[in-house]
Amino acid sequence: MKLPSRPQDKIIIALDVPDTDGALRLIDSIADHGEPPALCKIGLELFTAEGPSVVKAVKARGCEIFLDLKFHDIPNTVAHAIRSAAGLGVAMTTIHAVGGLVMMEAAAKAAEKMELLILAVTVLTSMDSDQLSATGINVEPKEQVLRLAGIAAKAGIGGIVCSPLEISAIRESFDEKLRIVTPGVRPIWAAAGDQKRVMTPAEAVAAGSDWLVIGRPITAAENPKEAYAKVVAELS
Ligand code: C5P
């Protein structure tokens, strides 16, 4: 997938709503002079409720899709799921890096020659060192993130989803070819909510993030169009 050049193309709007109507309303409330957000993220809630039809509906509004279903299964199953995602015409999708090298190689191979960017999710930000240790992983989350990112890169996976505070370490350890997508971004004027490890959009891009996933600072704003325009201005 081509790297974004315009600031607005760096923003992925998280469509964290339960149904297609809500998703389309949200897009329309953000569209700037009729131009919809370049990329929208459809996650587990919306896709489980509405299925492929929501992908088609959002694409018909003119948005590219980040299908965030975090596949984690045996290599053969994940490879087929990746083909299904590619068949839906989505631009980006996610797998769990903890599925291992062979699973990620199968995913990368399934997307070969396709315009589909696969992103590996490393350690969920809801996991702390105590929870990791209970699963038998006795290292700090950051060390585990870098280890899993290394396996993803070796498998030929195109990018990583990581929290703002991990961007620099990933950029230092891997070359430019590994794309970075970052949630947990908060403009100074927005409430952090339940996001703890936050950075502003401009800081996250300066640190090396290629795309930013932004939900509530825009979607829950009194005026989503204005909030979106403010983030675009901040990135300009
Ligand atoms: O509303 P907010 O900007 O926090 O939304 C961020 C989006 O990114 C949500 O869809 C959330 O599920 C997702 N996400 C996240 N933190 C992660 C991974 C994904 O906030 N570590």
For ligand 1, say whether the CB of 184 is within 6 Å of any of its atoms. yes
Query: Which one from 59, 70, 142, 225 is the annotated catalytic residue?
Result: 70
For the CA atoms of 102, 108, 110, 115, what is the dihedral angle to 10 degrees?
170
Write down the pTM of the prediction. 0.96
Q: What are phi and psi of 217, to 5 degrees?
A: -55, -25
User: Which pLDDT does position 195 carry in this prediction?
Assistant: 76
Write the residue with the smallest CA distance to atom 15 of ligand 1. 183
Q: Answer positive or negative: Cα dihedral of 25, 27, 29, 35.
A: negative
User: Which pLDDT does position 208 carry in this prediction?
Assistant: 96
For residues 3-21, average pLDDT: 97
Secondary structure (H, E, C), 114-174: CCCEEEEECCCCCCCHHHHHHCCCCCCHHHHHHHHHHHHHHHCCCEEECCHHHHHHHHHHC
For residues 75-100, average pLDDT: 98
Least confident stretch, 33-42, 86-95, 123-132 = 123-132
**Residue 221 — pLDDT band, cuts 50, 70, 90?**
very high
Q: Please report the domains of the chain, with CATH numbers, ordered by start residue.
A: 7-235 (3.20.20.70)
Write the residue with the smallest CA distance to atom 18 of ligand 1. 183
> Is 59 known to be catalytic?
no
Residue 126, judged by CB atoms within 10 A of its CB (0-12, 13-18, 19+), counts as exposed
For residues 32-55, average pLDDT: 96
Query: If you measure from the C-alpha of residue 183 to the centroid of ligand 1, how many angstroms do you get, rounded to a whole number?
Result: 5
**Residue 191 — pLDDT band, cuts 50, 70, 90?**
confident
